[in-house]
Amino acid sequence: MKLKLYLLFPSLLCVSLMLPAQDIHFTMYDMAPLSLNPAHTGAFEGTFRIGGIYRDQWASIMPNQFVTPMFYLDAPVMMVGKRNWVGVGMMMYQDKAGVARLRNGTVQFSGAFHLALDRKSDYVLTLGLQGGMVQRDFDITSPEVLLGDELLAGTPGSSPDRTVQDPRANYLDMATGIMLRARMTKEATLTAGIAAHHINKPKYSLLQQNSKAITQPLRLNGHLRVDYQYNELFTLSPTLLFQNMAGTNEIILQGWGQYLIKKEEDLSLIGGLGYRLADAAMVIVGAKYQDWKVALSYDINTSSLREATRYRGGFEIALGYIGRIYKKPDVKPAIICPRL
C-alpha cells in the first residue's frame, strides 16, 4: 500500500502542473454562487449576502497541498423601474496546488442586471459580468518540482527556466453569464444558467519567454436547479452542473433535501448525495437556521486512483448568511377627537 501511495504523489503533482487544464471547482458549488455564475450577483431576497467556502482536496493523504478558501459578498443595490434591479458583489480566493505551491489568488468584482419578464416577477432573466486581477506563482526552487524539459532529459535541475527569479504572472480575468429564474408552480422553482469564464483568454504563463504562447483556456458551464416544496416540512432540490475546459468535461449530479424540524425557530436539517461522473461520490450534511446556512461535504474517490487513496477524496465546509435590513415605517401620530 505504501508503494501505491508513493506512486500516487508524483501523479498528483503532474496533475497540479498541467496548467492549461487547472481551475478551481467546488463540490458544493451552490454555496459559492459568484464563482459559478456572475449572474448570481444579487439574486436573492434580502439586503446583503455574505459567505465563504473552504476545500481541501486529498486532505487525508497530502494535508494542505490542494486547498481553496473562497469568500464572497453581494447585494441588490438599485431598483430600475418597479420590478427590475441591479446587484453588485465581490469574491476572493486563493487556490494552492501541489508541492510546488502553485498559487492562484484573485479579487473579482461583479455586477448583474435582473429583468422581470412578468408583472409578478415569477420569471426573471439575469445578465452578469465579472472581472478582476489574478496573481499566479509557484516555487521554482523546490527540489520536488520537475519541469517538462527535465523530465525528457532525465536530469533534475538542468532546465534553463530555473534561472527565472520569482516566476509569476499578473493578468486581468473576466467572466460573463446569463440566468433564468422561473416560478413554474406554487411549489416548484427552476433556476438555469450558462456562464463563460476567462472570456478574455488572458496570457498567464509563469515563464517569461513563453508568456506570449500560453493563454488561459475558456471554461464554460451550464447549471440547473429545481427547488420543489413537497409539503410544509420537506423541500427537495435536484441539481446538475456541466463544465468544459480545454477539451475536458465535468458533470455533477446532486440531490439536496431540507427538512424543517422546528417551525417556530425556522430550523431545518440539510442532507444530500451526489456524483461527479468517473471521479467521486459525494455526501452532504448541514443545517439552516433562520438566515444562516452551513454545510459540509466529502468526496468519496471512485476514479482509477481509488486503490491508492482508499476511496478518500476532498472535504469542504461552507457558511452563508443573508442579512435583512428594513427601514422602520415613519408613522405620524393621529389625534382622535374624544367626541367621536
DSSP state of 327: P
Q: Has residue 133 been placed in a domain? A: yes
Q: Has residue 329 been placed in a domain? A: no
What is the domain-level CATH number for residue 46? 2.40.160.40
Looking at the chain, list the stretches that DSSP marks H as alpha helix, in order from N- to C-terminal side: 2-16, 33-36, 148-153, 306-309
Query: What single-letter amino acid sits at 327?
Result: K
Cell numbers at residue 199, please? 472570456
Min mean pLDDT across 81-85, 163-167, 229-233, 335-339 is at 335-339
Half-sphere exposure for 125 (CA within 13 Å, toward CB): 2
Q: Has residue 88 been placed in a domain? A: yes
Q: Has residue 157 been placed in a domain? A: yes
* Mean predicted confidence (pLDDT) in 290-296: 98
Cell numbers at residue 258, please? 431540507
List Cβ neighbours of 223 (8 Å cut-off, separation of 6 or more).
Answer: 29, 36, 37, 191, 192, 193, 194, 195, 239, 240, 241, 242
CA separation for the pair 163, 153 (Å, rounded): 17
Cell numbers at residue 286, please? 448541514
Please, what sign has the CA dihedral across residues 267, 273, 276, 279? positive
**Per-residue pLDDT reduced to its tens digit, 71-115:** 999 999 999 999 999 999 999 999 988 766 788 999 999 999 999
Domain count, the chain: 1
Query: What single-letter amino acid sits at 79?
Result: M
Query: What single-letter amino acid sits at 142?
Result: S
CA separation for the pair 97, 104 (Å, rounded): 9
Q: Residue 333's pLDDT band (boundaries 50, 70, 90)?
A: low
Q: Has residue 339 been placed in a domain? A: no
Q: Has residue 335 been placed in a domain? A: no
Q: Has residue 263 been placed in a domain? A: yes
CA separation for the pair 254, 259 (Å, rounded): 17
Per-residue pLDDT, 15: 40
Residue in this structure with the C-alpha cell 408583472, named with its chain if needed: 119
Per-residue pLDDT, 11: 42
- CA torsion, ordered 228, 53, 6, 141, to nearest 10 deg: 150
Residue 235 belongs to domain spanning = 2-323
Q: Residue 20's pLDDT band (boundaries 50, 70, 90)?
A: very low
pTM tops 0.95, yes or no: no
Full DSSP string of 181-215: EEE-SSSEEEEEEEEEESTT--B--SSGGGTTT-B
Q: What is the 3-state secondary structure (H, E, C) of 218-235?
A: CEEEEEEEEEEECCCCEE
CA separation for the pair 68, 106 (Å, rounded): 12
Q: What proportions of the chain, in percent to the nearest 5, are helix, strand and coil? A: 15, 50, 35
